[in-house]
Structure formats: structure tokens, C-alpha cells
């Protein structure tokens, strides 16, 4: 919390709130000695100054603001997944479920953000697309953080940030530590499942490759219908996250199809074709492959 927040947002007790309501006769407070407390906390006035369209086209504001909303959801989901990782590292499965469930709901909100762009046709996008230069969602550092947390790892994808030292260092650090799925696999080993040692000591910079031992563990877990099977609850929570994330990737493909077809991407990729290929990389792969053997 910043100094500005600590001085502007003063904690109040339930008794103080009740007394204020009584003095106001049930009406909201309309006079404050300083900055409105809501703005001091949420920074709404700052948020609403962050939109700087590059063209005069009115539709660009939708594109810009929806992109910013998605960035906030990327960061919020990363926050929850990091929390869940810490809990799983300490074998606190039950405690990890709440942040995982929140993460799934945040991803649901992220998916809903696409609705704000469903009006956009190629003609609409073309009115301001050239002004964006080489700017592309591919260059979102927070989206890379989210992918790395989920276990989708490709070191080459941090190269665009080499000249943004702080961002590059953060992404490098994220690659150097286990993903959420790595922590889940390690948890399964500690719970007595037969996970090979080489899988536990692998280079976490590289993307996890599906392993039959991890698949077999999930088959066993889902074969136990007992009320205390927290690992099954963990599997359900992770499945929901994977589904919502997969939906976001598919919604991205549909948005590109709708607004630019198979044109080349702004960031130099093949656009639609590149996105379609990227969807072949599966989040939490053994959770899905195990279903064939259940």
C-alpha cells in the first residue's frame, strides 16, 4: 500500500459506520475533507486516464480498453495461481482449492471480455489497425507469465523483452521456477504415487511433456470416490482452469477470424494459422489423457 493510500483511506469500525449512517439519515456521505476514499483505493481516475487511442475512430476505444481489461485479468489470475502454488508446495491441498476456484472465475471473466469486440468486422478493424504498427497481443508479458504458470513454456518467447530489462528478468525468473503443474506432480510424488525421479528433477525451463506415470496417478485418484479425496477436488479445480483457459485461446482464434481472417499478424506471425497451431499445446495434459483410461 502506498503512502497516498494509507493517508487517504482511513479504516473505520462497524460502530463508526453505524454512527455515520445515523447522522446521514440513511443517505450516502456527500462531503469529504480530501480525496474521495473510493478513488483513493481503486484509483479509478488514474485508470480512466490510461486510454490513449491512436486514431479518431470511435471503435478503437473498445479495442484498447478490452485489451487493458484482459491484461488486468491476466495479472489477477497469475496472482491466484501463485497463491495456489505456495499452498500445494506445503501439501495444503484444501487451502489451494479457494485460489484455484477464484482463478477459474477470473478466467471466466476474461472470456466474457471478448464480447466487447464481437461487433468488430474487418472493415472496422482496418480503420485503425495500421496505426498500431507492430503491436500485437503476442507481446503481452503478463500473458506469458500466465502461460509459464500453467506449464506452457518456450524460452524463445521472452526474446521480444530483452531491451525491457525489468520485464525480461521477471520472465526469466518465472521460467526458472516450477510451474503450477510441476508443483502438482511433485505433490503426487509426496502422496505416494509412483512418479519417476527424473521427472521431479527435470529442467523446469522446458515445457512439461506428458508422462504415463502421472496419467496413472490421476486414474487412481479418480477411482477413489471417498469424501476425503482432496486430490480429486484438486483435479476438478485444475480441469476447470484448463477448460476456461482453452476457451480463451479459442475465443482469440474466433476474434482473429472475425476481424482479419487469415491475414498476417501485426507482430510478424502467420496470424490465424499461428494461433491455431499454438492451441495444440495442452494445459495439464495428463488430466485429459487419463480420462481415456478411467
HSE, side-chain direction, 13 A CA sphere, residue 131: 13
pLDDT given at position 137: 77
List, for residues 116-143, the tens digit of each pLDDT value.
Answer: 999 999 999 999 999 988 887 778 999 9
- pLDDT value at residue 244: 97
Question: What is the domain partition of the chain in residue ranges?
Answer: 3-47, 62-293
pLDDT of residue 138: 79
Q: Flag whether pLDDT at 1 surpasses 70.
A: no
Q: Which residues carry a binding-site annotation?
A: 129, 252
Average pLDDT over residues 256-285: 78
- The whole-angstrom separation of Cα 278 and Cα 149 is 16
Interval 227-260: pLDDT, tens? 899 999 999 999 999 999 999 999 998 898 898 8
- Asked whether 279 and 257 are in contact (CB, 8 A), the reply is no
Percent of the chain with pLDDT over 90: 74
CB contact at 8 A, 87 and 96 = yes
Percent helix / strand / coil, the chain, rounded to 5: 65, 0, 35
pTM of the model: 0.91
Is 7's pLDDT higher than 60? no
Annotated binding site for substrate: 129
- Is the distance from CB of 275 to CB of 252 less than 8 angstroms? yes
> How far is it, in rounded angstroms, from Cα 288 to Cα 214?
11
What pLDDT was estimated at residue 35?
Answer: 87
60: closest CA among 137, 128, 131, 130?
128
In the chain, count H helices and then E strands.
Answer: 15, 0
Query: Regarding the domain delimited by 62-293, which CATH topology (the fold level of the hierarchy) does it fall under?
Result: Methane Monooxygenase Hydroxylase; Chain G, domain 1 (1.20.58)
Q: Which of 12-26, 146-160, 263-277, 278-292 has the lowest mean pLDDT?
A: 263-277
pLDDT over 70 for what percent of the chain?
A: 94
pLDDT tens, position by position, 138-195: 789 999 999 999 999 999 989 999 999 999 999 999 999 999 999 999 999 999 999 9
Write out the binding residues for heme: 252
Residue 269 has pLDDT above 90, yes or no: no
Amino acid at each position: 500500500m502506498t503512502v497516498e493510500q494509507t493517508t487517504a483511506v482511513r479504516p473505520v469500525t462497524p460502530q463508526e459506520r453505524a454512527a455515520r449512517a445515523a447522522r446521514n439519515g440513511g443517505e450516502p456521505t456527500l462531503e469529504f475533507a480530501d480525496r474521495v476514499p473510493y478513488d483513493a483505493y481503486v484509483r479509478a481516475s488514474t485508470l480512466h486516464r490510461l486510454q490513449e487511442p491512436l486514431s479518431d475512430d470511435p471503435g478503437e476505444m473498445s479495442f484498447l480498453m478490452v485489451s487493458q481489461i484482459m491484461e488486468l485479468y491476466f495479472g489477477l489470475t497469475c496472482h491466484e495461481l501463485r497463491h495456489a502454488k505456495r499452498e500445494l508446495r506445503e501439501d495444503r491441498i484444501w487451502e489451494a482449492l479457494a485460489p484455484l476456484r477464484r482463478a477459474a472465475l477470473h478466467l471466466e471473466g476474461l472470456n466474457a471480455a471478448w464480447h466487447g469486440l464481437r461487433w468488430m468486422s474487418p472493415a472496422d478493424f482496418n480503420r485503425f489497425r495500421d496505426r498500431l504498427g507492430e503491436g500485437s497481443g503476442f507481446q503481452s508479458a503478463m500473458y506469458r507469465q500466465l502461460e509459464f504458470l500453467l506449464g506452457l513454456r518456450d524460452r524463445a518467447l521472452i526474446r521480444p523483452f530483452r531491451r525491457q530489462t525489468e520485464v525480461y528478468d521477471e520472465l526469466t525468473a518465472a521460467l526458472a521456477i516450477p510451474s503450477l503443474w510441476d508443483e502438482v506432480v511433485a505433490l503426487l510424488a509426496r502422496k505416494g504415487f509412483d512418479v519417476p525421479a527424473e521427472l521431479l528433477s527435470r529442467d523446469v525451463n522446458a515445457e512439461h511433456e506428458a508422462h504415463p506415470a502421472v496419467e496413472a496417478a490421476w486414474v487412481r485418484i479418480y477411482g477413489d470416490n471417498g469424501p476425503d479425496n482432496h486430490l480429486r477436488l484438486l483435479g476438478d479445480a485444475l480441469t476447470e482452469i484448463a477448460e476456461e483457459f482453452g476457451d480463451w485461446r479459442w475465443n482469440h482464434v474466433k476474434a482473429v477470424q472475425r476481424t482479419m481472417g487469415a491475414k498476417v499478424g501485426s507482430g510478424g506471425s502467420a496470424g490465424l494459422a499461428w494461433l491455431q497451431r499454438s492451441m495444440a499445446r495442452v494445459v495439464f495434459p495428463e488430466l485429459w489423457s487419463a480420462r481415456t483410461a478411467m
